[in-house]
């Protein structure tokens, strides 16, 4: 049985130069055919995987770029297709200025409990560097609209270590975020991902990575959000009590999940596959009832790969990782503890504050 569902909506009005998700502008895509395909795939796969979701997450792309009519059709179709009795969290990614009160209210009335709003920064110059098409005023208005609709949990996505961003402006961004009293904040260090404009600009020497700057930004983040009452429960995630992301927590713990839509990944009973990352071709294959033709990447996750993923993901969480999963020798663990990077707590290995800054490297030593 699969208890977690992800739905990928690849449309964005504007493409951010640092983003490597599968996304594109809506262009000439037939939106009716797209929604129909998502629901048809969901119907076929949910039987195959015996889906009874406790969490649903709709990401992308930007699902809130869908018109009210199409979003309504999608949300209603999900509720008609899937047994939602066990559902405890239904999340959606949204960008400022892609919805007004009527669309937000539709999401709320359709059962969505959690909205993740991609604000990234409150500083106009930083938003411009990131290629975002919203203003700080748009972001504030969108957040207030969501609050007024009564969603159970609101997350704000923020980003630091952006070219040209000063520590002072990041502090101001954090303070601005705290003022709005969200229930959850995700604060990501900018990554230069391959096949993005930012990666090219880094490769050409126009942008530089700076580890000491990253550390300063991260330290500001943990301090300011900690003082504001957020629990730092994963390296990039901070929650007020009762507002942890259940969907992401399931993913970090290695639970199976079903991914629907172009470019979506599924992990099911020791296998992982990816749907074709081409919306037109995705619609064509679903229309032909050809589930096999949807899958472009398929891998068996053996015990070693599963363990490596567990270590990489769970080590980033507050509860860390159980000793039973680690293959590292006691000496290796003691060495990392002596360096002040990890500590033992309740039978688990957890990162120290210093270790959080070097999480990937610590994980590689624990494999
Ligand atoms: S809005 Fe989000 S998904 Fe779309 S391009 Fe920007 S970062 Fe990527």
Q: What's the 85 CA to ligand 1 centre distance in angstroms? A: 32
Task: Please say if the pLDDT value at position 239 is more than 90.
Answer: yes
Task: Please say if the pLDDT value at position 256 is more than 70.
Answer: yes
Does the residue 47 lie in any domain? yes
In terms of domains, do 335 and 195 share one?
A: no
pLDDT digits (tens, 9 = 90+) for 274-304: 999 999 999 999 999 998 899 999 999 999 9
Q: Which residues contact 212 (CB under 8 A, 6 or more apart)?
A: none
**Best probe residue, ligand 1, of 13, 15, 19 (max atoms within 8 Å of C-beta):** 19
- pLDDT at residue 247, rounded to an integer: 98
pLDDT digits (tens, 9 = 90+) for 66-124: 999 999 999 999 999 999 999 999 999 999 989 999 999 999 999 999 999 999 999 99
Does the residue 49 lie in any domain? yes
Q: Whose CA is nearest to atom 7 of ligand 1?
A: 19
In terms of domains, do 34 and 147 share one?
A: yes
Average of per-residue pLDDT across 171-179:
98
- pLDDT at residue 98, rounded to an integer: 96
Half-sphere exposure of 10 (CA within 13 A, CB side): 27
Residues in the chain: 367
- pLDDT at residue 87, rounded to an integer: 98
Domain holding 346, by residue range, is: 304-366
Pocket lining: 95 vs ligand 1, CB cutoff 6 Å: yes
In terms of domains, do 310 and 247 share one?
A: no
Task: Please say if the pLDDT value at position 328 is more than 80.
Answer: no
**Best probe residue, ligand 1, of 10, 11, 61, 128 (max atoms within 8 Å of C-beta):** 61
In terms of domains, do 310 and 242 share one?
A: no
In terms of domains, do 197 and 333 share one?
A: no
Identify the band that residue 326 occupies on the pLDDT scale cut at 50, 70 and 90: confident
Does the residue 197 lie in any domain? yes
Does the residue 276 lie in any domain? no
In terms of domains, do 342 and 245 share one?
A: no
Distance CA 63, CA 196 (A): 21
| Secondary structure of residue 359 in the 3-state scheme | helix
- pLDDT at residue 347, rounded to an integer: 86
Does the residue 65 lie in any domain? yes
CB of 277 closer than 8 Å to CB of 70: no
Structural domains of the chain, count: 2
Pocket lining: 120 vs ligand 1, CB cutoff 6 Å: no
In the chain, % of residues over pLDDT 90: 90
Task: Please say if the pLDDT value at position 366 is more than 90.
Answer: no
Does the residue 128 lie in any domain? yes
Pocket lining: 182 vs ligand 1, CB cutoff 6 Å: no
Of ligand 1's listed atoms, the one at least distance from the Cα of 131 is 6
Average of per-residue pLDDT across 21-28:
95
Identify the band that residue 2 occupies on the pLDDT scale cut at 50, 70 and 90: very high
In terms of domains, do 67 and 174 share one?
A: yes
CB of 129 closer than 8 Å to CB of 93: no
In terms of domains, do 216 and 358 share one?
A: no
Q: What's the 16 CA to ligand 1 centre distance in angstroms? A: 5
In terms of domains, do 340 and 234 share one?
A: no
Identify the band that residue 131 occupies on the pLDDT scale cut at 50, 70 and 90: very high
Whole-structure pTM value:
0.95
Does the residue 151 lie in any domain? yes
Look at residues 252, 287, 319 and tell me which one is the last residue of a structural domain.
252
């Amino acid at each position: 049985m699969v208890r977690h569902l992800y739905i990928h909506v690849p449309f964005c009005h504007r493409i951010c130069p640092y983003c490597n998700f599968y996304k594109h502008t809506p262009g000439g895509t037939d939106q009716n055919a797209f929604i129909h395909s998502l629901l048809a795939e969901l119907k076929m796969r949910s039987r195959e995987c015996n889906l009874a979701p406790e969490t649903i997450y709709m990401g992308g792309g930007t699902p809130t770029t869908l018109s009210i009519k199409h979003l309504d059709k999608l949300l209603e179709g999900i509720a008609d297709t899937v047994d939602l009795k066990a559902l405890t969290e239904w999340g959606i990614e949204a960008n400022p200025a892609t919805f007004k009160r009527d669309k937000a209210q539709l999401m709320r009335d359709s059962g969505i409990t959690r909205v993740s709003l991609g604000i990234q920064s409150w500083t106009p110059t930083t938003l411009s560097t990131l290629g975002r098409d919203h203003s700080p005023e748009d972001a504030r208005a969108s957040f207030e609209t969501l609050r007024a609709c009564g969603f159970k949990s609101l997350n704000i996505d923020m980003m630091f270590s952006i070219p040209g961003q000063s520590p002072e402006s990041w502090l101001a961004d954090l303070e601005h975020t705290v003022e709005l009293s969200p229930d959850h904040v995700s604060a990501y260090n900018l990554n230069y991902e391959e096949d993005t404009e930012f990666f090219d600009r880094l490769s050409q020497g126009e942008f530089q990575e700076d580890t000491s700057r990253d550390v300063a930004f991260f330290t500001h983040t943990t301090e300011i959000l900690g003082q504001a009452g957020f629990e730092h429960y994963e390296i990039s995630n901070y929650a007020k009590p009762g507002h942890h992301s259940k969907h992401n927590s399931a993913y970090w713990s290695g639970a199976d999940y079903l991914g629907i839509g172009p470019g979506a990944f599924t992990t099911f009973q020791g296998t992982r596959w990816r749907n074709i990352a081409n919306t037109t071709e995705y619609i064509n294959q679903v229309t032909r009832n050809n589930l096999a033709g949807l899958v472009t990447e398929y891998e068996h996750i053996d015990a070693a790969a599963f363990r490596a993923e567990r270590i990489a993901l769970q080590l980033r969480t507050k509860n860390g990782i159980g000793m039973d999963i680690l293959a590292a020798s006691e000496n290796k663990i003691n060495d990392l503890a002596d360096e002040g990077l990890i500590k033992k707590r309740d039978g688990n290995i957890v990162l120290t504050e210093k270790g959080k800054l070097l999480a990937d490297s610590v994980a590689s030593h624990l494999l």
